[in-house]
Structure 1
Amino acid sequence: MTHGADQPLPDAPAGNWVDRHAPVAWRPYLRLARIDRPIGWWLLLLPCWWSAALAAVALGKEGPDPWQLLIFMIGAIAMRGAGSTYNDIVDRDLDAKVARTRHRPLPSGQVTARQAAVFLMAQALVGLIVLLQFNRFAILVGLASLVIVAIYPFMKRVTSMPQLVLGFAFAWGGLMGWAGLAGRLDTPAFLVYAAAIAWTVGYDTIYALQDIEDDPIAGIKSSARLFGRHARVGILICYGAAVALVVGALLLAGAGIPSYLGALAFAGHLGWQVRRITPGDERVALMLFKSNRDAGLLLFAGLVLDALIAAG
């Protein structure tokens, strides 16, 4: 009998459909894929949507292609699940030492490493099918991200800034969205990518505040530990860089007022997060981390509105 059998995870939303309605046999796999915690795939998806929408603005399109937005979502869910499963396979011994993660399916014994590996391959296959829907250039760009994804789980053992490597992976959509629509990469796409990296480091530092006491015991390094009592300042710098890079991308793409209003709303939301950071309060840290979905959607809404107005 497993010691963590069918136990809801602490960072999953209370009453989520996996815990309430999914067949018991499926739940460990759905938790491996983080289906009970959708914020992960949202944060992977949003840079794709930003980039696709800004490319539409720059190219005079009437908004981003709805079909591409949909397959970006499907791909984000699949690849977030695959990446999380891979991460949990690599980290199963470390996860057993951290209170927030010790009841995950692998360290708790609900799933074996071999079963998780098979599940990983199934999710990666879905991601590949999605990737093949894009043009050849975008396919090559997408495949290039696999190198970063492969090394990320090991970074928390060797660097105090694993969040930066996570940013390189999670922000990749900043390149994919543009490549999917334009079939090439232009300077604004690289600025969106850089902005998404800085944003990722900021929000994942907030997330890491939850584990700041357990991580030293497990030998895990993080930006939250690196910044220490200056975490608020570190996050502010990351968020400030993200906003500045977004504005640079808008300028080079010839964006209009709605895009800048979206960027202003994005900046306002990030500023609110920084003000609300409460050292030692894990509940607030998790709430602020999850709120980044809304921050990202505010920017995306401004970009889409800009494209629709400009094309109309």
Structure 2
Amino acid sequence: MILNKAIEKIHDYGVLVMFSHTIFSLSFALISMLLASNGLPSPYKIFWILLAFMGARTGANAINRVIDAEIDAKNPRTATRQLPQGLMKKKEVILFVIGCFLLMVISAAMLNPLCLILSPIALFLMVIYSYTKRFTWACHLVLGITSAAAPVGAWLAITGKISWLPLFMGAANTLWVAGFDIIYGAQDYDFDTANGIHSIPARFGVRNALHISTLFHGITLCLLVIVGILSSHLGVIYYIGLTIISVLFIAEHKMVSPNNLTNVKIASYGINQIISITFLICGVIDALI
């Protein structure tokens, strides 16, 4: 009985923080880590980088659910989430968030002083993102920038200094996430406009928003090509991966239109999970060869 409740609680938290979407930034973080260390870093570094990543990513998603609980309750699409349904209490989730963020800060301290010094900036981005939809249509970009902390942070954890390669990788991560988040947000156009929620679809209309998403993903590919040029470790396999990703981007944007948003979830999440795995496999292989 106790075991079943424990399993059910773990499942609830997994759903709450959308654990299956971890791959979106994990792929960038791992490749950045390998490139920064010219191969596999020490087990010590891998351990603390992964803990920092999981603490940050999990805490950020959980605090988003707390901050957006009232909005989620009004939106028919999100009203079935745990907090609006009362399946979990806010205080419970806030304690969980504090634990996750403490894990991130402790992990940053174990990596190097620069990571610890910069950790408050990462925490600020993780919290402020959830409020941006209340005052700016650029919320998608703030989400992307927050996600980009993963590859930039992984590079800093290994080298203790910044360089152009992780900045270009972070920029690619930013526009990629912002691009598919715009697609996902298109399905809430009616709700957002009626309730004063800011987003690119609500500000510019669904048609223009989808064009902006396409532009973001086109620039993402260009930035990833620059990453390949800057790195001496990335070669043929990496570019094969980018070719596959470009085809997947085309498929993603062909799936949705202003008049047909039926496949929004597949286009924004399903296809991009495949893109993440493709990028991870091809990038890791090239980085380790």
Name the TM tier (shorter chain).
0.7 to 0.9
Moved more, 124-133 or 102-111: 124-133
Tell me what 2:207 maps to: 229
- Residues 1:276 and 2:260 are matched in the alignment: no
Matches within 5 A, 1:41-60: 41-56=22-37
Q: 1:293 aligns with which of 270, 273, 277?
A: 273
- Shift in Å, 1:82: 1.3
Deviations 1:14-53 (A, max 9, x none): xxxxxx9964455544433334xx11x2213222123223
Q: 2:183 aligns with which of 194, 202, 206?
A: 206
Tell me what 2:92 maps to: 115
Point out where structure 1 has 5 or more consecutive residues left out of the alignment: 1-19
Q: Name the CA distance, whole Å, in 2 between partners of 1:280 and 1:22.
A: 44
- Shift in Å, 1:136: 2.5
Matches within 5 A, 1:1-312: 23-24=7-8, 28-35=12-19, 38-39=20-21, 41-56=22-37, 61-63=38-40, 68=45, 71-225=48-202, 226-254=204-232, 255-279=234-258, 281-290=260-269, 291-309=271-289
Amino acid at match of 1:44: S
Change in Cα spacing, 1:261 to 1:138, as seen in structure 2 (3 Å) is farther
Residue identity (%) = 24
Are the aligned partners of 1:98 and 1:215 in contact in 2 as well (CA < 8 Å)? no
Q: Name the CA distance, whole Å, in 2 between partners of 1:299 and 1:163.
A: 22
Q: Alignment length, in residue pairs? A: 283
Change in Cα spacing, 1:253 to 1:25, as seen in structure 2 (3 Å) is closer
Query: Structure 2 length normalisation: TM-score?
Result: 0.86
- Shift in Å, 1:169: 0.4
Deviations 1:39-82 (A, max 9, x none): 1x2213222123223334xxxx2356676556544443432321
Deviations 1:104-140 (A, max 9, x none): 2222223332222222212223333433442333333
Are the aligned partners of 1:32 and 1:81 in contact in 2 as well (CA < 8 Å)? no
Larger helix fraction of residues: 2
Change in Cα spacing, 1:34 to 1:300, as seen in structure 2 (3 Å) is closer
Moved more, 172-181 or 141-150: 141-150
Tell me what 1:7 maps to: none
Query: Structure 1 length normalisation: TM-score?
Result: 0.80
Moved more, 75-84 or 179-188: 75-84
